[in-house]
Structure 1
Amino acid sequence: MQAQDHYDHTEIEQRWQAAWAEADVFHTDDDAEDPTYVLGMYPYPSGKLHMGHVRNYTITDAYARYRRMRGDNVLHPMGWDAFGLPAENAAKERDTNPRDWTLDCIATMREQMESMGFGYDWEREVTTCEPDYYQWNQWLFGRFHDAGLVERRDAEVNWCPSCETVLADEQVEGEAELCWRCDTPVEQRELSQWFLRITEYADELLDDIDELDGWPASVRQMQRNWIGRQHGTRLTFEVEDHGSVEAFTTRADTVFGATFFALAPDHAISQELAAEDDTVRRFVEEEADPEGDEPNGVETGLTATNPVTGAELPVFVADFVLSDVGTGALMGVPGHDDRDHAFAEKMGVDIRPVVAAESEEGDAAAPDVSETAYTEDGVLVDSGKYSGLDSETARERITEETERAEFTTQYRLRDWGISRQRYWGTPIPVVHCDDCGPVLVPEEELPVELPEFVNTTGNPLDAAEEWKQTACPDCGGDAVRETDTMDTFVDSSWYFLRYVSPELVDAPFDVDRANDWMPVDQYVGGIEHAVMHLLYSRFVTKVLADTEGLDHREPFSNLLAQGMVQLEGEKMSKSKGNVVSPQRIVEEYGADTARLFMMQAAQPERDFDWSEEGVESSHRYLQRLAQAVRTFVETEYDGANDETAAYVERDIDATVATAREEFESLTFNTALRETRELTSLLAQYRETESPHGPTVERGLRTVVKLLAPVAPHVCEELWETLGGDGFVVEADWPSFEGDAADLSLARRLVENTRSDVRHIVDVAGIDDPERVDVVVAAPWKFRAQDLARESDAPNVISELMQVDEIRAQGDAAATFGQDLQEERQSLPATLSAEQERTELERAAWLIEREFDAEVRVLGAEEADDSVARKASPGRPAIHID
């Protein structure tokens, strides 16, 4: 450490990064017993880290370092989501090839990660574009095929004409349905596609969400919504001149209120009508807006026959009907569905109520649905023989007794289309033979490696004639390789398993080790991956459990979806020109400053605004801490271990207790705030007349250890300066004495008391207080409050008056009891009267220093009654002369 006020962050960071690497401190031995598995979602190698990366990986690094200091073996790996269309497009623009471009980007980003001090076991690094990784994608495809979970069929897909590839639904953005990469309008095409049959696991994927207690509730709900299981009835309507059309409904009890029938714009009948009717064509191609605020549609002139009532219903093409939800057709019941009601009002369709609220008299009357739909269950009215039945019974009876109705369960979830018409991805291990059809490439011939890149329009694999031409594995005849590559979600659906045994050559992962090390204990990544990546990972894990002997059916025990780093309220984006370079921050302030600011700015799951002032404040704090350590080692202390030292020791204990709790829950900002406050307390204590050296040393060592997971470089330097053994990254997490809850209560008591003194001084305009009396409440009030907190009696006052000590206080007890009765739902826990007095006496020196006044801590019996009666447990009375 340099002797001047400022430390050289560049020199310090490079020194300790080299020392960690030489000592291999982040390596996880293969024989480690069930290490704590900490993982950040691996990045796409774009060439530069952005602030979202820095935040994500600082969170996982801080938590991994914390777990290591708690004595855990820790697995904390890193890799690269290296396939994908962006690299292919970048290579085309630069007239290079995707592999060279990608590997150059990886080298750059790895260097940036190392400069941030992230403690990864780089020996476990995986790169998904390398054959030794993607051969296992191909192996998985074969395993899924053997399990009956692979299917090839024609399907309508999202097609980007600019990127010339299929897009997943989540890659089509906005009302204009633009490609997420190039903003080109997306088209619909029908292509032969390969699918993984994730729908076979829909029920398990949905039901197991209830077991994911360590996931955010919002993410679990997003997964439930995406799977979208609904139990209901399939009704078959006869559409004039077009035969049978099925519609799904969860409200068969409302079928007598159906007044129209609606088809999705891309339904087969809608497409037929559009080819014949210009009005329908114009609506389908130009006017339909599924994302619009209001439902819209066009009448077709056709009718559909209600299979329950026999009524003829007008048929519409409507943009609020979606082909990927239900069957792409529905019966419209405007009296009992808000969306149908809005559509009926717009199109002039009848609105007929057939379900009424239950009545105690038993004579339910049809509700008024002229203004709004009645959407609750109830009792059927005007529904023929079903009138008078409750909704649930009616749904069952109508379904059972209608010939063209059946119970069914439907899902929003669709099978996973993995085909992509591009070069830079895992080749699908299939050859097409005129005699044998599609044939799997045998395992012993894997990997099917990509050929040399050819910069051409369309899919470069189509142009790789020599690579395409091959022999059929079954008959030996001429065959052609599949030219589609896999969706990159396949790469990320199991990469966390490869980290367990990345050098394994005869299997994708070591099953025994995976059974010991999995699941991932803490997973961290952006909310944008809350559905597809996590759902596919869960699916693949379940299949591997069924086919390969994996013991775990869920990949991630705990999930944190970290918030965004914004600038002036907007997400950082190159296109907006509001990007802050992590490299610039590291060069100017140091990696520790960047990490510290990120972690103390907000809780990890919340968005926060980048603040240059906040960065500078973090930098100044680290400088002050470094100076404090230097000053300590250069100073001799001969103070006694007195009450003041005892207070500091208790505050050290309280800080450690809080920090441990907050690190466990990944609320680092609270732990860091407490650590900074301890640093400030130590500074005040060192300025007293006779600070106790061992207390100061323990405090500084504690601060350094608590900060080490977040600001590791400077803390290693300070640990060495303080004479610590070995690396601080391998040191034991600091311990504390006492009960964590009591320590927290004591700290809150002191903070509130100091705040109350400040408030009185400010409001009363006292310029120069001479004496401050802090009066602890009488012991009977503590007993009364404890009884009130524990009591479930309706009248607390009556219960309190049964206690002699309390009843003897007369009117004072009655008044205090009334207060407790009113506040009983929010009464806090408190220390005992004796503990409260002890803690306040230890903290009196802080008030004395702040106000330059004598401080007395008194019991209620020692103080004037007019002051004492104002005191309550946890909130002593204050009197200032």
Structure 2
Amino acid sequence: MSDAGYDHARVERRWQEAWNDAEVYRTDDDVEDPTYVLGMYPYPSGKLHMGHVRNYTITDAYARYRRMRGDDVLHPMGWDAFGLPAENAAKDRDTNPRDWTIDCIETMREQMHAMGFGYDWDREITTCTPEYYQWNQWLFSRFHDEDLVERRDADVNWCPECETVLADEQVEGEAELCWRCDTPVEQRELEQWFLKITEYADELLDAIDDLEGWPNSVRQMQRNWIGRQEGTELEFSVDGHGTVEAFTTRVDTIHGATFFALAPDHPISEELAEEDDVVRKFIDHEADPDGDEPNGVETGLSAANPVTGDEIPIYVADFVLSDVGTGALMAVPGHDERDHAFATKMGEEIVPVIAPEPDDWDGETVPGVPDVSEEAFTDDGVLVNSGEYTGLDSEAARARLTEDVESAAWATQYQLRDWGISRQRYWGTPIPVVRCHDGCGSVIVPDEELPVELPEFINTTGNPLDAAEEWKETTCPECGGDATRETDTMDTFVDSSWYFLRYVSPDLEDAPFDVGRANDWMPVDQYVGGIEHAVMHLLYSRFFTKVLADHEGLEHREPFTNLLAQGMVQLEGEKMSKSKGNVVSPQRIVEEYGADTARLFMMQAAQPERDFDWSEEGVRSTNAFLGRLHELVETLFEADLEETDDAIARYVESEIDATIAIAGEEYDELRFNRALRETQDLVRTLRQYADYAEPNAETFERGLSAVVRLLAPVAPHLAEELYDELGDDGFVVDATWPTADVDREFVDKRRTLVENTREDVRQIVDVAGIDDPQAIDVVVAPDWKYDALGIAIASEADNLIGELMQESHIREQGDVAASYGQELQAEREALSMTLGPDEEFAALESAAWLVEREFGAPVTVVSADEVDESVLKNAEPGRPAIEIED
């Protein structure tokens, strides 16, 4: 401890070196009580931003807390090191992605050390190293062995700026922009490699209900993305084109189908476009699936309704998508808003066939036909205008029609599509496939030839691997003939779909992970990262985990038990970004105020999942608090304290116990801001105690020791310094978490009582204009009022006063009891039980010193039997009467 005060730079440097020398964060492979805490690993962009700092402070604080609770904690860090930004940066700087990435990693690692994050750096992984990405290739081969890999022609999302394919999840918004560069995405047909995630669609969807530790919003986003729909497939006959299969979830509306619609890329649409210039023009130039209104073109064809036999016109329409359902649909404008808008535009008939079910419907009477001329009726109801099915409810009609129609069958459709992992870029995992020139086709590279390493980077347009001629030309593993390597690399989300498993055995040379250790450590107990990864990363990680459970011996089918999606750090209500010029540098904050200040400010500003505004004033205030805590510990050693036993010490002891218990509960639930508020309130109480009286040595030291340990997860450097000053052995990171057994409800009632009483005194002094109070009496209510309150809370009687008067000791109070009963009657819905009279007396007596300190007047807590009735009538449970002598 410096005589000049809290020197954050010296303190932080000292303890970071000490932790490193002692290897305090190293985790053994074999442990008794494993707890896995993980933050989503970062892309190495060169510098930490405040979002990183917040994310990793959350996981670091929780890991430290669980360690102090006695758990064996795995808390690793690594780098999501492949990706297009590094490739673009290398091109711009005329360097190569590898050097650029490694330089960025070294910078960010130093910044993480400066923040005091307690990682087991022996487990560090970097996904752009052959030691890591060879296992991407090995997993690709295993997926291929299990028929979960396919190469096929497909319409893909192509970003012309990035010159690469994007997964559906990487196309953002109604404008369909690239998630990396905001360029409008085009559609191209390319031969691509796919992982068959749709094989696991049902399990991925059904298992969401079991992810109880995940935010509801994230779970719903995954449900929506998988998009399972139960419905009916049935065939419509089209002259000259055979039958066309359509999928509908509302076959009960089939009698109202007045036209049929095909996707622009449906095979029939493409056939028509070869002969019909109007259809070709629409498909090539006018179709806009993201337009404000549905658009289409007549084909001159008609489709036969399989139920009614009616011929209905066929359109090519841009609101029909080939990858949703079958790319063909029956349109029922009376009961679908989009179909209604299109029918109105094209002048097609709108026929109502479903009526709202009346509230008193008897199951037989057919309701009146609704008017759907202006607006579609889209709910289930009762069939009308539907021939023999009229009078059935929608659910029964769907079952009957699916049974009765020869071509109809129950079917399930998904929005989820197989995961296209091919990327036409250099900086990624090479796909381990060669194409044989002598007829073997596409051949998987054998395990013994892995990794297929990236060649030297060539700064060129398009895919640099296409320009690496020497690397491309190889031999076929099956026949030994000439072959060409696959020049596509894997989507970087492959890297992050299993990286959490590599941490358990990062140096393993003969497998991607040690299955036994993974089964001990997995699933991750607490995972933290941004909401922007709710679909892509989390869905892919769940998919990989399920495949590995089915085929590689992993015992767990979900990767993450609990998930926290942390909020953003904002400046004046806007997300920090370089383009807006509103970025706050973590390095500047650390240099000026210290890492502990930055960590503590972020964690106390809001609950982790909430956005919050960065505030320089808040940072300064946090820094001042740490300085005051430092001074408070020095007070303990500068004063010659003795062992005493008085009411003030007992009050402080009770607050120490309450803070320990409540802060622990809040840390358990990751409500760090509440835990820190409790701890800071205890620091305030200890300062007030030291200012008001000579503290009891044992109480004061116990309080400071509790504060230091409660702050240690969030402000670890100063906590280590103060822990050392208090004479404790070892590191605070290894210290035992303080414990106390208290009744949370009792504590809340006691604190409410004390604070309400202090506030009442303030109001009386203010309203009465008392500048210098001479004495303050606090009068506790009589016992019968507590009994009356208890009866009022428990009673369901309409006449509360009558019920109260059945109790003789209450009835004896006469008009006073009747008046109090009227008050209880009026506030009945808001009543809550307080402490009992004896508990209330003891609580007020132990806290009287706080009022004395604030107002400079002696305070006396008075029981009900010591005052006359005129004073007593104002005293109520939880709200004592107050008499102030001026």
User: What range describes the TM-score normalised by the shorter chain of this pair?
Assistant: over 0.9
* Cα distance in 2 between the residues matched to 1:793 and 1:340: 57
Aligned residue for 2:561, secondary structure, equals coil
Q: Which of residues 374, 384, 387 in structure 1 aligns to 2:377?
A: 374
Residue 532 of structure 1 corresponds to 536
Higher mean alpha-carbon deviation, 177-186 vs 287-296, is at 287-296
* Cα distance in 2 between the residues matched to 1:331 and 1:879: 81
Residue 3 of structure 1 aligns with an amino acid whose one-letter code is D
Residue 557 of structure 2 corresponds to 553
Residue 170 of structure 1 corresponds to 169
Q: Do 1:266 and 1:323's aligned partners in 2 also have CA atoms closer than 8 Å?
A: yes
Shift of 1:98: 1.1
Q: Do 2:33 and 2:71's aligned partners in 1 also have CA atoms closer than 8 Å?
A: no
Shift of 1:807: 6.0
Distance change (3 Å), C-alpha of 1:282 and 1:784: farther
* Cα distance in 1 between the residues matched to 2:716 and 2:785: 48
Q: Does 1:215 align with 2:214?
A: yes
Q: Does 1:755 align with 2:759?
A: yes
Q: Does 1:583 align with 2:587?
A: yes
Q: Does 1:636 align with 2:635?
A: no
Distance change (3 Å), C-alpha of 1:542 and 1:816: farther
Distance change (3 Å), C-alpha of 1:718 and 1:550: same
Shift of 1:376: 2.2
Q: Do 2:228 and 2:415's aligned partners in 1 also have CA atoms closer than 8 Å?
A: yes
Per-residue CA shift, 1:572-613, capped at 9, x if unaligned? 111111111111111111111111111111110011111111
* Cα distance in 2 between the residues matched to 1:301 and 1:473: 54
* Cα distance in 1 between the residues matched to 2:298 and 2:770: 80
Shift of 1:786: 4.6
Residues 844-855 of structure 1 aligned to structure 2 (within 5 Å): 844-855=848-859
Q: Does 1:413 align with 2:416?
A: yes
Distance change (3 Å), C-alpha of 1:257 and 1:724: same
Shift of 1:110: 0.4
Distance change (3 Å), C-alpha of 1:763 and 1:604: farther
Shift of 1:654: 1.2
Residue 130 of structure 2 aligns with an amino acid whose one-letter code is P
Q: Which of residues 701, 704, 711 in structure 2 aligns to 1:700?
A: 704
Q: Do 1:33 and 1:516's aligned partners in 2 also have CA atoms closer than 8 Å?
A: no
Distance change (3 Å), C-alpha of 1:369 and 1:797: farther
Shift of 1:680: 1.2
Residue 350 of structure 1 aligns with an amino acid whose one-letter code is E
Distance change (3 Å), C-alpha of 1:708 and 1:785: same
Residue 117 of structure 1 corresponds to 116
Residue 211 of structure 1 aligns with an amino acid whose one-letter code is D
Q: Which of residues 726, 743, 748 in structure 1 aligns to 2:747?
A: 743
Distance change (3 Å), C-alpha of 1:66 and 1:277: same
* Cα distance in 1 between the residues matched to 2:510 and 2:541: 22
Shift of 1:683: 1.1
Shift of 1:57: 0.1
Residue 615 of structure 1 corresponds to 619
Residue 367 of structure 2 aligns with an amino acid whose one-letter code is A
Per-residue CA shift, 1:422-478, capped at 9, x if unaligned? 111111111212422112111122111111111122111112222222222222222
Q: Do 1:34 and 1:517's aligned partners in 2 also have CA atoms closer than 8 Å?
A: no
* Cα distance in 1 between the residues matched to 2:604 and 2:18: 27
Aligned length: 880
Q: Do 2:648 and 2:847's aligned partners in 1 also have CA atoms closer than 8 Å?
A: yes
* Cα distance in 1 between the residues matched to 2:515 and 2:523: 12
Distance change (3 Å), C-alpha of 1:761 and 1:342: farther
* Cα distance in 1 between the residues matched to 2:796 and 2:852: 42
Shift of 1:114: 0.5
Shift of 1:243: 4.4
Residues 127-142 of structure 1 aligned to structure 2 (within 5 Å): 127-142=126-141
Q: Do 1:236 and 1:244's aligned partners in 2 also have CA atoms closer than 8 Å?
A: yes
Residues 181-220 of structure 1 aligned to structure 2 (within 5 Å): 181-220=180-219
Distance change (3 Å), C-alpha of 1:813 and 1:131: farther
Q: Does 1:384 align with 2:384?
A: no
Q: Does 1:260 align with 2:259?
A: yes
Residues 798-877 of structure 1 aligned to structure 2 (within 5 Å): 827-865=831-869, 868-877=872-881
* Cα distance in 2 between the residues matched to 1:598 and 1:410: 45
Per-residue CA shift, 1:85-105, capped at 9, x if unaligned? 111111111111111111111
Per-residue CA shift, 1:255-293, capped at 9, x if unaligned? 112223333444444455566656555655555544455
* Cα distance in 2 between the residues matched to 1:150 and 1:700: 60
Residue 30 of structure 1 corresponds to 29
What residue ranges of structure 2 are gaps of 5+ in the alignment?
A: none
Q: TM-score, normalised by structure 2?
A: 0.94
Residue 54 of structure 1 corresponds to 53
Q: Do 1:12 and 1:713's aligned partners in 2 also have CA atoms closer than 8 Å?
A: yes
Q: Do 1:775 and 1:876's aligned partners in 2 also have CA atoms closer than 8 Å?
A: yes
* Cα distance in 2 between the residues matched to 1:596 and 1:740: 25
Aligned residue for 1:334, secondary structure, equals coil
Shift of 1:530: 0.7
Distance change (3 Å), C-alpha of 1:240 and 1:91: farther
Distance change (3 Å), C-alpha of 1:800 and 1:213: farther
Shift of 1:80: 0.5
* Cα distance in 1 between the residues matched to 2:87 and 2:799: 74
Distance change (3 Å), C-alpha of 1:472 and 1:828: farther
Q: Do 1:117 and 1:713's aligned partners in 2 also have CA atoms closer than 8 Å?
A: yes
Higher mean alpha-carbon deviation, 480-489 vs 180-189, is at 180-189
Higher mean alpha-carbon deviation, 739-748 vs 583-592, is at 739-748
Distance change (3 Å), C-alpha of 1:101 and 1:844: same
Q: Does 1:733 align with 2:732?
A: no
* Cα distance in 2 between the residues matched to 1:452 and 1:826: 74
Residue 14 of structure 2 corresponds to 15
* Cα distance in 2 between the residues matched to 1:307 and 1:606: 54
Q: Do 1:639 and 1:690's aligned partners in 2 also have CA atoms closer than 8 Å?
A: no
Distance change (3 Å), C-alpha of 1:643 and 1:93: same
Per-residue CA shift, 1:818-845, capped at 9, x if unaligned? 7667766655453332222211111111
Residue 250 of structure 2 aligns with an amino acid whose one-letter code is R
* Cα distance in 2 between the residues matched to 1:794 and 1:309: 63
Residue 425 of structure 1 corresponds to 428
Higher mean alpha-carbon deviation, 425-434 vs 768-777, is at 768-777
* Cα distance in 2 between the residues matched to 1:717 and 1:147: 56
* Cα distance in 2 between the residues matched to 1:833 and 1:162: 75
Shift of 1:781: 4.1
Residue 365 of structure 1 aligns with an amino acid whose one-letter code is G
Shift of 1:782: 3.6
Shift of 1:241: 5.1
* Cα distance in 2 between the residues matched to 1:168 and 1:330: 26
Shift of 1:330: 2.5
What residue ranges of structure 1 are gaps of 5+ in the alignment?
A: none
* Cα distance in 1 between the residues matched to 2:41 and 2:385: 59
Q: Do 2:167 and 2:419's aligned partners in 1 also have CA atoms closer than 8 Å?
A: no
Distance change (3 Å), C-alpha of 1:390 and 1:737: closer
Higher mean alpha-carbon deviation, 782-791 vs 148-157, is at 782-791
Shift of 1:799: 6.9
Residue 460 of structure 2 aligns with an amino acid whose one-letter code is T
* Cα distance in 2 between the residues matched to 1:646 and 1:78: 45
Aligned residue for 1:616, secondary structure, equals helix
* Cα distance in 2 between the residues matched to 1:264 and 1:653: 68
Residue 442 of structure 2 corresponds to 438
Q: Do 1:640 and 1:690's aligned partners in 2 also have CA atoms closer than 8 Å?
A: no
Q: Does 1:470 align with 2:469?
A: no
Distance change (3 Å), C-alpha of 1:435 and 1:10: same
Residue 311 of structure 1 aligns with an amino acid whose one-letter code is D
Residues 60-99 of structure 1 aligned to structure 2 (within 5 Å): 60-99=59-98
* Cα distance in 2 between the residues matched to 1:243 and 1:675: 75
Q: Do 1:159 and 1:166's aligned partners in 2 also have CA atoms closer than 8 Å?
A: yes
* Cα distance in 1 between the residues matched to 2:390 and 2:781: 68
Q: Which of residues 433, 439, 447 in structure 1 aligns to 2:451?
A: 447
* Cα distance in 2 between the residues matched to 1:428 and 1:442: 12
Residue 117 of structure 1 aligns with an amino acid whose one-letter code is G
Distance change (3 Å), C-alpha of 1:96 and 1:113: same
Distance change (3 Å), C-alpha of 1:641 and 1:405: same
Residue 2 of structure 1 corresponds to 2
Residue 740 of structure 1 aligns with an amino acid whose one-letter code is R
Per-residue CA shift, 1:335-393, capped at 9, x if unaligned? 22233334434444333221122333634112232343322222111101000111111
Higher mean alpha-carbon deviation, 703-712 vs 432-441, is at 432-441
* Cα distance in 2 between the residues matched to 1:320 and 1:794: 61
Q: Do 2:155 and 2:188's aligned partners in 1 also have CA atoms closer than 8 Å?
A: yes
